[in-house]
Chain A
C-alpha cells in the first residue's frame, strides 16, 4: 500500500475542470517530483492533496485512509505538511513564531525541532526575532520549509520552492533536501526547474493540461520523453 496515492483524481474550479483522472502514488521514504508547464495542474494537484480543494473522499488516500473529502485543517494533522507556492509566511509573526505555528495545537515527536531546523538553516537562528517577511526570498523559503517540517510530517508537499529565487539560492535550498529525506519524510516536489527536480527525485511525473503524461525514474527518462510530455510536441 502506498503512503499517499490518488486514483482518478478530478478537480474543478466552478465549471472549469483542472484535473482529469490523475493517478499518482508516493511510497514510504520516496521523493516524487511533479513537473509540467504553467497551467498543467500541478498546483491544483497540491491544493487537492493538502485539502485546500476538496474532492471525493476515495480519490486521495493516506496510509489507506480516504482523505479526499477533508479540509486542510483536518487533513494536515494526519501527517501532511505543505510548503505553499509563494512561501506565504505570516507577516505578523517573527521567524521563530512562523516556525512554531507549524505545530499549532499538537505535539509531534520526531527529528525536527526548532534546534534541528536552525541547524539545517543557520541563518534563521540569527534572524529568529525578525519579522518573517523582512527576510530575503531565499531565507523566507527556508522559513516556509522549516515551518512545514516542525510538525515532523510523514509527507512533505513542496510547491514550486525554486520559484522567483536566484539560481545560487535555489542551490542552497535544494542542498537541504537530502537531509530532509534522511529524516524519514517522504516528499512530493512540484517544480518547473526540471534539473533540480531530477536531482532529488526517485520518480518523476510529468503533467500537461490536467493529466499525467509521463511517469518514470530520472535515469530512465530521456530529454525527448520529457520534452514531449511537457509541451505535447516532439523536440
Chain B
C-alpha cells in the first residue's frame, strides 16, 4: 500500500510540474521560443503574490487573482518589446536574451528581497487531507493537480475552439501568410506570452504555498518544466501533463527508496524517455 501512496503522491506532484511547464509549452508551441527565464518568472510571480499577501493582507488565492493581470501585462510587454525582436531564423538570440533576463531577474529579486527563504502563508489548507480508502491525500496537492488539469483543458479549448487559437496555430505555421490574413504576428505572440504568464502566476501560487522559495530557485524549476515539456513532446499540452507526472512519480519513488535519490530519479527518468523516444511521447506531427 505504501507504494500506491508513493505513486499517488508522485502523480499529484506531477501536477505542479505540469503547471511549471504548461506556459513554457504554450510559448514554445506557438513561436518556437525557449524561454530560459521561465523559472525566474515563476519565482517573480511568487514574490509578487507574497508582497500582495504581506502588504495588503490578502489571502494567497485572492493575491494570485490580483497578480494574474499584472503578470499578463508584464508578459505582453516583455514579448512585444523585447522577445519579438529576437525571433527569426537564428535560434541563438532568444536563448541569449532570455538567459540574460534570467540572471537579471534573479539579481533584481535578490536585491529586493534578499536571499532569505520565503513562504506564502496557507492556513489550514496545507495540512488538511482527504481520506480515500487507505490513502491520505493532501488537499493542496490535489488542488494543484486539479488546477493543472483545468489549465490544460482551458488551453486546449483556447487553442482548438476559438478564433484566437486559430490565429495562434496559423501564425505558428506561417507568420508571413498569417499577416496576409490581417493577423499581426507580433500581437499574437505577445498575447500568447501574456496567457503563459497567467499560468505562471498559478504555478507560483502553488509553488509558494507548498515549499520555500528564494530568488535562486528559478533555474531548477525551469529544468523540471523543460523536462516535462520534452518528455511529453514539444508543443503537446496533454503530453506536458504526462511529462510532469512521469517526473513527479519518478521523484517520489526515488525518494521512497532513498531520500537522496529524489531529484536524481527524475533526471534519470527524463534520460530514459529520451533514449526510447527522442521526440518525446506525443510529438506534434508537424514540426
Contacts and interface: CB of A to CB of B under 8 A. Distances in A.
Interface of A: 50-52, 71-73, 76-77, 81-82, 84, 88, 90-93, 97, 100-102, 104-106, 147, 151
A76 B179 contact: yes
Interface stretch (B7-15, B32-40, B167-175): B167-175
Interface string B160-203: 00010011011011101111111111000000000000000000
A93 B182 contact: no
B177 A84 contact: yes
A52 B174 CA distance: 13
B180 A90 contact: no
B276 interface: no
Give the residue among A82, A101, A102 with the most B Cβ atoms within 10 A.
A101
Contacts, number: 69
B211 interface: no
B170 A90 contact: yes
A105 B180 CA distance: 13
A97 B286 contact: no
A92 B167 CA distance: 10
A102 B179 contact: no
Interface in B200-240: none
Contacts of A81: 180
A81 B179 CA distance: 11
Contact of B172 (A51, A88, A92, A101): A92
A102 B182 CA distance: 8
A52 B180 contact: yes
Contacts of A147: 181
Which 10 pairs show the lowest CB-CB distances between chains A and B?
Answer: A92-B169, A72-B179, A73-B179, A76-B182, A88-B177, A90-B170, A90-B173, A73-B184, A77-B182, A82-B180
B22 to A, nearest CB: 19
A82 B183 CA distance: 13
A151 B182 contact: yes
A101 B176 contact: no
A72 B186 CA distance: 12
A74 B169 CA distance: 20
A88 B183 contact: no
Nearest to A98: B170
A66 to B, nearest CB: 19
A52 B179 CA distance: 8
A73 B187 CA distance: 11
A84 B177 CA distance: 8
B189 to A, nearest CB: 12
